[in-house]
């Protein structure tokens, strides 16, 4: 019988084996005879084979096996040949042979296609391939199958994998000895290094399996940038390099998952996941300085500091190695209330670079990471909220003055849903207003920015856009403006520029998400001019200094 090459699932073979067992289930099993006659041997052509793309038709792998024990004419012997890639979820390759052909051979191209196309092994990768030959005996007595196995390591050809067992920084900018990078994130395969480099060339040697590779730029002698750069992996002898322009301390990040490289001079950009205040002005425990809601590049804090030193450690990739400090090492002046450029230094150098807080007190600190600026305000120079005056008809006070520290959303957007007043609010107006009509919902309050007390931000759930009919029988969806009073509809408002007139008609302005809208403030007809919230909006910024409103989706 000629050998049949069958690519079958394990289930089909299992059914055949069960059928054979069923036909012999009433026969005795001759364990002694069969187990003592294990003679089959499987001999591969080598233990490690590297497939050669340049020789597709040349034989790469051969396997030979000896015949099994001959139990006589009463027995029929069949051979099952299997190939399995260890770790692959693909079905094993199975072939049956009963004509005495105890040999298999594969060319480079054939084995490449089997490993890559059938088993799913990646290119330029070593796979462990298990070959098994099983001799089955069918006769008057059931004999135990004779099994022989061999495991080969076979490497596919093709594009290199972006993988490393070890990763180094090397080149003339490093010196004679490569420096091993530290694996900081095992899941995303992110490596990093921070240290001194000389002017010169740099790339990243890679040890991977049996390969000596390197990561470099697409073109030779590429200049570095402050952003992520594409890294190409190639043979170490052929890899290109980046050019380090000057001797300095650099921070290097190699992201194997994204296939990018970042080489940044320490202090050139601010790399931070968190920022803290530290120094004798702070005390033993660092204080986090928070990112503002209105600008991802802004960080702000306001609170009490002692007279003493101040610097700002940066947490990046779980470590604090750098800090924000004065740009000039021997200048410790906070430049009270003035915008100044900051520098960066190693944490180990902050004993020489720091700000001096002149006296105990309340301070506001505003830092722009992108522009590398900082402003430190004492109580004398601190930014002040806007104070507004209007006629408070609810409290029957003609000249009512109020410092604006919060804004409330008011309108039909939530069908004028109300909250109960707080004890403080009720106490304030209980002698004048027995049943106040308006208690705007607190969950839609706009919070005052720490960076600028005249800016208010809502960032949270998507805002409702209920349809609601106004007093003039006009129905709109999601109309809102902003009030300084939570308990009344006759106060100081931030309204739209739409035409409106008290006791005559409301005005409504269609807005586009992400577009800054002009606003009108005060206690005039702007109280009846509304913005129409765009769909999906969950972010609102109201600037009562510049009188603008932004609706957006964040």
Q: Which of 25, 22, 150 is nearest to 83 (CA)?
A: 150
CATH fold match for the domains 4-155 and 166-265: yes
Q: Where are the domains of the chain?
A: 4-155, 166-265, 274-377, 387-552
Record the tokens describing residue 299, joined without a space. 């960080």
Lowest mean pLDDT among 13-22, 27-36, 58-67: 13-22
Rounded to whole angstroms, what are the CA distances from 198 to 194, 202, 518?
13, 10, 53
Q: How confident is the model at residue 500 (pLDDT cuts 50, 70, 90)?
A: very high
Q: Is the pLDDT score of 21 beyond 50?
A: no
Q: Residue 549: CB partners within 8 Å, gap ≥ 6?
A: 482, 494, 496, 511, 516, 517, 518, 519, 531, 540, 541, 542, 543
Rounded to whole angstroms, what are the CA distances from 518 to 43, 459, 476, 541, 546?
83, 20, 20, 12, 9
Can you tell me the distance from the alpha carbon of 111 to that of 60, in angstroms, rounded to the nearest whole number?
A: 8
Collapsed DSSP state (helix, strand, coil) of residue 181: coil
Query: Residues 432-452: what's their mean pLDDT?
Result: 81
Can you tell me the distance from the alpha carbon of 491 to that of 481, in angstroms, rounded to the nearest whole number?
A: 12
Record the tokens describing residue 56, joined without a space. 């597709």
Kindly report the CATH number that applies to the domain delimited by 166-265: 2.60.40.3620
Q: Is the pLDDT score of 36 beyond 60?
A: no
Relative to beta strand 229-230, strand 493-495 is unpaired
CB 139 within 8 A of CB 145: no
Lowest mean pLDDT among 151-160, 297-306, 399-408, 427-436: 427-436
CB 61 within 8 A of CB 154: yes
- Does the global pTM surpass 0.85? no
When comparing pLDDT for 16 and 360, which is higher? 360
Strand partners, 61: 106
% pLDDT > 70, the chain: 87
Position 18 scores a pLDDT of: 39
Record the tokens describing residue 27, joined without a space. 């026969």
CB 213 within 8 A of CB 125: no
**DSSP result, 104-147:** EEEEHHHHHHIIIIIS-PPTT-EEEEEEEEEEEEESSSBPPPEE
Q: Which CATH class is domain 4-155?
A: mainly beta
CB 23 within 8 A of CB 128: no
Q: Is the pLDDT score of 23 beyond 50?
A: no
Q: What's the pLDDT tens digit per position in 140-183?
A: 988 889 999 999 999 999 999 999 999 999 999 999 999 999 99
Kindly report the CATH number that applies to the domain delimited by 274-377: 2.60.40.3620
Q: Is 409 left (phi over 0), alpha (psi -120 to 50) or beta?
A: beta
- Find where tokens 């059928």 sit: 19
Residue 150 parent element (H or E):
strand 146-155
Collapsed DSSP state (helix, strand, coil) of residue 501: strand
Q: What's the pLDDT tens digit per position in 217-232?
A: 999 999 999 888 999 9
Query: Residues 87-92: what's their mean pLDDT?
Result: 93
- Find where tokens 């190693």 sit: 346
Can you tell me the distance from the alpha carbon of 366 to that of 455, in angstroms, rounded to the nearest whole number?
A: 14
Position 273 scores a pLDDT of: 87
Can you tell me the distance from the alpha carbon of 53 to that of 112, in angstroms, rounded to the nearest whole number?
A: 9
Position 538 scores a pLDDT of: 98
Position 6 scores a pLDDT of: 34
Collapsed DSSP state (helix, strand, coil) of residue 387: strand
First to last CA, the chain: 71
Average pLDDT, the chain: 87
């Amino acid at each position: 019988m000629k050998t049949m090459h069958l690519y079958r699932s394990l289930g089909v073979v299992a059914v055949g084996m069960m059928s054979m067992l069923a036909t012999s289930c009433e026969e005795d099993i001759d364990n002694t005879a069969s187990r003592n006659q294990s003679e089959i041997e499987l001999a591969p052509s080598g233990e490690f084979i590297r497939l050669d793309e340049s020789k597709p038709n040349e034989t790469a792998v051969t396997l030979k096996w000896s015949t099994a024990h001959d139990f006589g004419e009463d027995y029929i012997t069949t051979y099952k040949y299997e190939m399995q890639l260890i770790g692959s979820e693909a079905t094993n390759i199975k072939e049956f042979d009963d004509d005495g052909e105890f040999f298999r051979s594969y060319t480079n191209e054939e084995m490449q296609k089997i490993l890559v196309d059938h088993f799913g092994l990646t290119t330029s990768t070593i796979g462990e391939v298990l070959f098994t030959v099983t001799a089955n005996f069918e006769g008057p007595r059931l004999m135990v199958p004779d099994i022989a196995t061999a495991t080969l390591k076979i490497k596919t050809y093709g594009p290199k994998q972006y993988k490393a067992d070890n990763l180094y920084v090397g080149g003339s900018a490093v010196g004679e000895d490569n420096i091993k990078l530290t694996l900081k994130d095992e899941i995303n395969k992110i490596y990093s290094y921070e240290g001194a480099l000389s002017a010169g060339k740099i790339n990243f040697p890679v040890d991977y399996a049996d390969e000596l590779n390197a990561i470099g730029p697409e073109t030779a002698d590429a200049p570095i940038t402050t952003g992520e750069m594409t890294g190409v992996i190639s043979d170490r002898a052929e890899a290109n390099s980046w050019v380090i322009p000057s001797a300095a301390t650099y921070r290097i990040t190699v992201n194997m998952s994204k296939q990018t490289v970042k080489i940044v001079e320490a202090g050139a950009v601010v790399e931070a996941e968190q920022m803290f205040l530290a120094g004798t002005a702070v005390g033993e425990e660092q204080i986090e300085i928070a990112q503002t809601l209105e600008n991802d590049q802004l960080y702000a804090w306001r609170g009490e500091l002692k007279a003493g030193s101040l610097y700002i450690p940066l947490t990046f990739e779980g470590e604090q190695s750098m800090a924000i400090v004065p740009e000039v090492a021997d200048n410790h002046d906070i430049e009270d209330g003035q915008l100044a450029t900051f520098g960066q230094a190693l944490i180990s150098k902050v004993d020489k670079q720091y700000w001096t807080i002149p006296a105990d007190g309340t301070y506001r600190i505003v830092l722009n990471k992108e522009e590398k600026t900082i402003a430190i305000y004492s109580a004398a120079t601190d930014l002040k909220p806007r104070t507004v005056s209007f006629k408070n008809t609810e409290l029957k006070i003609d000249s009512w003055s109020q410092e604006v520290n919060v804004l409330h959303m008011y309108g039909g957007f939530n069908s004028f849903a109300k909250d109960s007043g707080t004890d403080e609010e009720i106490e304030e107006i209980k002698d004048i207003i027995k049943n106040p009509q308006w208690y705007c919902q607190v969950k839609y309050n706009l919070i005052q920015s720490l960076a600028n007390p005249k800016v208010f931000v809502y960032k949270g759930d998507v805002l409702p856009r209920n349809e609601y009919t106004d007093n003039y029988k006009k129905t709109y969806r999601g109309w809102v403006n902003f009030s300084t009073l939570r308990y009344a509809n006759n106060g100081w408002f931030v309204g739209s520029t739409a035409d409106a007139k008290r006791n005559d008609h409301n005005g409504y302005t269609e807005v586009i998400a992400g577009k800054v809208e002009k606003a009108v403030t005060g206690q005039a007809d702007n109280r009846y001019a509304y913005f129409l919230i765009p769909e999906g909006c969950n972010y609102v910024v109201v600037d009562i200094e510049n009188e603008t409103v932004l609706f957006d989706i964040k």
